[in-house]
Structure 1
Amino acid sequence: MRLSAPIYKLKRQAKRMARDKGIALHAALDRIAGAEGFRSWSHLAENANPGPAEAVLRQLAPGDMLLVAARPGQGKTLLGLELARGAGTLGRRGVFFTLDYTRREVEDHLARLPGQGEVMIDTSDEICAAYITARLARLDTPVLAVIDYLQILDQRRDTPPLAEQLAALKAHAMASGAILAMISQVDRAFDPASGKLPGLRDIRMPNPFDPDLFDKACFLHDGQVRTGRVG
C-alpha cells in the first residue's frame, strides 16, 4: 500500500499529534496508521512499501565506505538505523556508533522500525576512528557499521584531523571487508527550494577531507533518495 508521505514524515506528524493532544506517542502512531488504512503502526511498518534502506543495501559491497547525507529532519539517521538493522540480509552484524544520541534514544528509534535484526549500539564519548576500528577488530563476524556523525568525529582536541580519521576508516574497511556508513550533515547554504537533491559539493566541511575516500554516497531530501558511486 502506498503511503501519503514517507514513514519519517508520518512519525513527525505523530509526534506533533501526541504533543498537541496530550496523548501517548504509541497512540498517536496508531492513529496515523489508521488514517493510512492500517490496523496499527506495527501493521503499517510491516506492510508498507519498503523504504530506501533495502535498495541501498543491495548496492553495498565488502570494503565499501558509504556517505549518507541530508539536512536535519530528512531521515538520514533513520536510514542509518535501517541499514544497521538490515545488515543481517548481507550476512553481517549491524553496529551503530553515535556521538549525537543516547542509548535510550537509539533504542526508542529502533523499537519503531520494522524487522528484528539485532543492532550493537555504542554511545561512548571516546568514539573516533581509532576507537571504531579497535572495537570492530574485536568482533568475530563481518560487520556493517554506521557512524553518526561525520562532522563531530574530530571534536576532541586529542583526535587526529577528520581527513586522517576517514583515511584510517577506509583502510580498515578495505583490509577487513567491513562496510562503513557515515552519516553527514549538508551545509545550510543548500537551497531546498531548488527542487534538487544535495550533492557532494553541499556536504558541510568544517574541516576539509577528500570525498573520494567514499565509494558511494546516498543523499536524501523531501522524501527523495539518490544513491550512486563517488567519482
Structure 2
Amino acid sequence: MTDRTPPHDITAEQKVLGAIMTATTAADQNLRLADVQNALAGGEDFYRPAHQIVYEALVRLAGRNEPMDPVAVAAELSKNGDLARVGGAPYLHTCTEQVPVSLNAGYYAKIVSDRAVLRRLIEVGTRIAQFGWEGVGEVDDLVDQARAAVTDTITSPTDGQGDLIHILDEDLWSVVSDEMEHGSDQAGRRVPTGFTDLDIMTGGGFEPGQMVVVGARPSVGKSTVALDFSRGAVKSGHSALFFGLEMTNKELLQRWIAAEAQVPLHCIRTGGRDMIDEGAWDRVTRARTRAQEENYQLWIADQCTTVAQIRANARRHQAHHGRLDMLVVDYLQLIPSTATAENRQQAVSESSRALKLLAKELGVVVVALSQLNRKPEDRPDKRPQVSDLRESGAVEQDADVIILLYREDTHDKNSPRSGEADLIIGKNRNGPTSDVTVAFQGHYSRFVDIAPG
C-alpha cells in the first residue's frame, strides 16, 4: 500500500501549462491563467515539482504584465536559476506540444486540482491515524482537529468566490425585488428574541450565522437575558443549546422554572411546603406540560468548557436532531485557556473568533456573554459602552450585534426607573442602534416586555 504512487495526471499538468504559454495574445494568456487560478489552490497542486516551478514563473510574469510564451518563461526561469531544474527550454516546448488547437485550460486545471485533493486526503488520513495511535491530548480536541483537517482538505480553494456579477444583473435584481415585495426568505429563518421591540430593531430576530454579544457588569442579568433569548427561540419552534460555564444544570433549570411558571426563584431554591404552595406547584406542572406538548427544544450543558467541546456537541446535536438555531455560551471570559494573564486578551479574542466561525459553519445564532470592565463605574450615569467589553480584542470586530445590559437600580436603589432595564444595542451590523427598554422581574429571574399603557 505504501509503495503505490499518489494520484496525479502528468499529461493534464502539461496541458495546463502549455495552454497558457501557447495563447496567441496577452489578453488570452491572462484569461487562461485566470481560469487556472480559479481551479487551483496554488502551485502546490502540481504533482511534479518542475510544473510547480513553471507555474509560479507564469504567475510572476503575469504580475508584471509581461509575455508568458515559452521564450519569456525560459528567460524568467534562467534568471532565477531554475531552468535546468525543470528540464531546460526543450521541456517547455514538450508542454506546449500537448496542447491541441482548442483547449479548455480550466477543464484540465480541475483534473489537476482533483488529483491534488486526493493526495491531501491520503495525507490527512495518515495524520488522523497518527492522532489515534498517539492519543496525545483531549479526545474531543483530537476529534475536532480530525474534522477540521478533513474539512480543509475537501473544501475547494475557490468555494464561495463565484463569478463577478454586474450590479444590474437581471437574476440578482429579480431575487432582491421579490424579497422587497413579498418578504425575504431569511426573515422566516430568523430566531425571535422573545422581546417585541428588540425583534423589530433586529429585523425580526437574530439571523443565522450571526454572533450576538451580550455584555454587562456582574449581577446585572447577562445569564438571565440569555436564557430569555433561549426561551423566546424555543417558543417559536426553534432549537437552542445553552452552555453554562458559570451555572450548573440544576441552577439553569431552577431559573427556567421560575421564569416559565412565575414562581419566585428563592422559593424554588429553598423548597419546602412553607415556600411553595399548591398554586405554585400547579404553575410548575403546567409549565412542564406546556413545554412537553409544544415540544420545546432547549438543551443545557454545564460540563462543556472549551470551544472544541462546544463545537463537537453542537455538531453532534445538529447531526442527530436535524436542526440547531441558537447556541448560548455563558460566558466568554470563563472559557479556559493555557494563555498567561498577560495574554488573556488574545485568548478571549481567539475564543470569540472561533465562536463566530462556528456560527457561520453551522448556520446558527451564537449568543456569547461577556463581562464588562470597570469603566462604567467611573461615569456619572454608569451606562456601559461597547468599548467597555472586557479583554475585548477581536470581540467587537467579530460580533454582528452587541447588546449591553443596563439597570439603573443596581447602583441607585431609589431610582424612579426601578424594575426597568435597557438593552442598549451598541452595534447592529444590519440595522439601527438604539435602546430597548424592558421590565426586570428579578424574583422570577426574567426580563419581559413592558406592558403597554
In structure 1, runs of 5+ residues without a counterpart are 1-50
Q: Summarize deviations over 1:103-132 as a string: whole Å, max 9, x none.
A: 1111110101137444211000x4221111
Letter in 2 for 1:141: R
Contact 2:216 2:404 survives alignment (8 Å) = yes
- The whole-number CA distance in structure 2 between the counterparts of 1:184 and 1:112 is 24
SS in 2 for 1:194: coil
Letter in 2 for 1:98: G
Contact 1:187 1:203 survives alignment (8 Å) = yes
Contact 2:194 2:229 survives alignment (8 Å) = no
Change in Cα spacing, 1:218 to 1:52, as seen in structure 2 (3 Å) is: farther
- 2:335 match: 153
2:301 maps to 1:122: yes
- 1:172 match: 358
The alpha carbon displacement at 1:60 in A equals 0.8
Change in Cα spacing, 1:230 to 1:191, as seen in structure 2 (3 Å) is: farther
Contact 1:70 1:184 survives alignment (8 Å) = yes
2:428 maps to 1:229: yes
Describe how 1:182-201 pairs up with structure 2 within 5 A.
Answer: 182-191=368-377, 194-195=380-381, 197-201=383-387
Q: Summarize deviations over 1:150-177 as a string: whole Å, max 9, x none.
A: 11113456xx933222222211211221
Q: TM-score, length-normalised on structure 1?
A: 0.68
2:325 maps to 1:143: yes
Describe how 1:81-96 pairs up with structure 2 within 5 A.
Answer: 81-89=227-235, 91-96=237-242
Change in Cα spacing, 1:138 to 1:75, as seen in structure 2 (3 Å) is: same
- The whole-number CA distance in structure 1 between the counterparts of 2:387 and 2:235 is 32
Describe how 1:95-134 pairs up with structure 2 within 5 A.
Answer: 95-114=241-260, 116=291, 117-124=296-303, 126-134=304-312
The alpha carbon displacement at 1:183 in A equals 0.9
Selected match of 2:394 from 209, 212, 227: 209
- The whole-number CA distance in structure 1 between the counterparts of 2:332 and 2:231 is 20
2:211 maps to 1:65: yes
- The whole-number CA distance in structure 1 between the counterparts of 2:306 and 2:197 is 28
- The whole-number CA distance in structure 2 between the counterparts of 1:122 and 1:54 is 28
Change in Cα spacing, 1:90 to 1:63, as seen in structure 2 (3 Å) is: farther
Letter in 1 for 2:400: D
Identical columns (%): 25
Letter in 1 for 2:309: Y
Change in Cα spacing, 1:137 to 1:82, as seen in structure 2 (3 Å) is: same
- The whole-number CA distance in structure 2 between the counterparts of 1:120 and 1:129 is 17
Letter in 1 for 2:311: T
The alpha carbon displacement at 1:76 in A equals 1.4
SS in 2 for 1:132: helix
Q: TM-score, length-normalised on structure 2?
A: 0.36
In structure 2, runs of 5+ residues without a counterpart are 1-192, 261-286, 340-345, 408-420, 431-453
The alpha carbon displacement at 1:97 in A equals 0.3
Contact 1:86 1:94 survives alignment (8 Å) = no
Change in Cα spacing, 1:55 to 1:136, as seen in structure 2 (3 Å) is: farther
SS in 2 for 1:191: helix
Q: Which has the higher strand share?
A: 1
Contact 1:217 1:230 survives alignment (8 Å) = no
SS in 2 for 1:112: helix
Q: Summarize deviations over 1:177-220 as a string: whole Å, max 9, x none.
A: 11000111111232275326312211111x73341101001111
The alpha carbon displacement at 1:91 in A equals 4.1
SS in 2 for 1:138: helix
Letter in 1 for 2:372: V
Relative contact order (alpha carbons < 8 A, sep ≥ 6): 1 or 2 greater? Answer: 1
- The whole-number CA distance in structure 2 between the counterparts of 1:163 and 1:101 is 23
Change in Cα spacing, 1:217 to 1:106, as seen in structure 2 (3 Å) is: same
Contact 2:353 2:398 survives alignment (8 Å) = yes
Larger Rg: 2
